[in-house]
Amino acid sequence: MTTTDWSSWHHPYDEPGSSLQRRLARVQSRLRQALADQPPGPIAVLSMCAGQGRDLLGVLPDHPRRPDVRALLVEQDPQNVAVAEAAGLEQVTVHAGDASLTTAYAGIVPADIALVCGVFGNIPDQHVHDTIHRLPQLLRTGATVIWTRHHGDPDLTPAIRSWFGQAGFAELGFDTEPGFRYSVGTHQLTAPGQPFEPGVTLFRFEGDGIAAYE
């Protein structure tokens, strides 16, 4: 448990040129493309530790695939949940609960797109590994995962990219920007999805979100 105010954590999103704002632009760009690339039909989207949902909620209203999308945002902080709900998109459910438990995703699996942003910099390295290896339980074959992690010292991103490969994903993109510490990875599940197992703990969230922009 951290003492971070996870609502205030979002303030730099509103500061022009901030690392967080620039990271969001990359995430949204990848998300826009992932939505556009989906085959015709329904699109299930999940967001793990969704915060205020700025990535999805910033893209969905104007996206041509909006009518096809059903999304589940899982977030624990009540203020962030309230902000995400206030967007008022009827096809977006905000679940006020523990994103570290696979059970939280029971209503959306298998998903076509997963947002795992602001997570991998806040959980132990072993849990990053384990979460990546569990993701195929939450996804359909062909699904896209958009994830973030800082690449400051120690840089875990080379290991993360190799763990995605081991878990059956192909890399669609890895975005960084000179002078900034964020990275945005985009991976596609090319191996078969795996049977969903409820009741599994994926990770322990212990970072303060401040030491680095994840």
The smaller minimum CB distance to ligand SAM, of residues 60 and 168, is found at: 60
The smaller minimum CB distance to ligand SAM, of residues 24 and 43, is found at: 24
The answer to whether the beta carbons of residues 65 and 43 sit under 8 Å apart is yes
Map residues 175-204 to x or -, x wherever contact with ligand SAM holds by CB under 6 A: ------------------------------
Give the residue, chosen from 43, 44, 49, 92, that forms a contact with ligand SAM under the rule CB under 6 A.
49
Map residues 114-153 to x or -, x wherever contact with ligand SAM holds by CB under 6 A: ---xx-----------------------------------
**Contact call for residue 98 and ligand SAM (CB under 6 A):** yes
Q: What is the DSSP letter of 15?
A: S
Q: How far is CA 168 from CA 66, 149, 189, in A?
A: 28, 20, 6
Find, among 192, 199, 172, the residue nearest to 29 by Cα: 172
Q: How far is CA 65 from CA 60, 114, 138, 173, in A?
A: 8, 16, 21, 21
The smaller minimum CB distance to ligand SAM, of residues 6 and 164, is found at: 6
Shortest approach of ligand SAM to residue 101 CB, angstroms? Answer: 8
Give the residue, chosen from 35, 46, 99, 146, that forms a contact with ligand SAM under the rule CB under 6 A.
99
Give the residue, chosen from 43, 46, 77, 84, that forms a contact with ligand SAM under the rule CB under 6 A.
77
Burial class for 195, CB neighbours closer than 10 Å (0-12, 13-18, 19+):
exposed
Query: Which of 63-71, 98-106, 149-157, 182-190 is the region at the interface with ligand SAM (rule: CB under 6 A)?
Result: 98-106
**Contact call for residue 51 and ligand SAM (CB under 6 A):** yes
The answer to whether the beta carbons of residues 143 and 172 sit under 8 Å apart is no
**Contact call for residue 31 and ligand SAM (CB under 6 A):** no
**Contact call for residue 71 and ligand SAM (CB under 6 A):** no
Return all residues near 95 (Cβ < 8 A) that are at least 6 apart.
Answer: 72, 73, 74, 75, 104, 107
Give the residue, chosen from 43, 44, 75, 189, that forms a contact with ligand SAM under the rule CB under 6 A.
75
The answer to whether the beta carbons of residues 48 and 114 sit under 8 Å apart is yes
- How far apart are the C-alpha atoms of 27 and 187, rounded to whole Å? 12
Applying CB under 6 A, the residues found at the interface with ligand SAM are 6, 9, 49-51, 54, 74-77, 80, 98-100, 117-118, 205, 209, 214
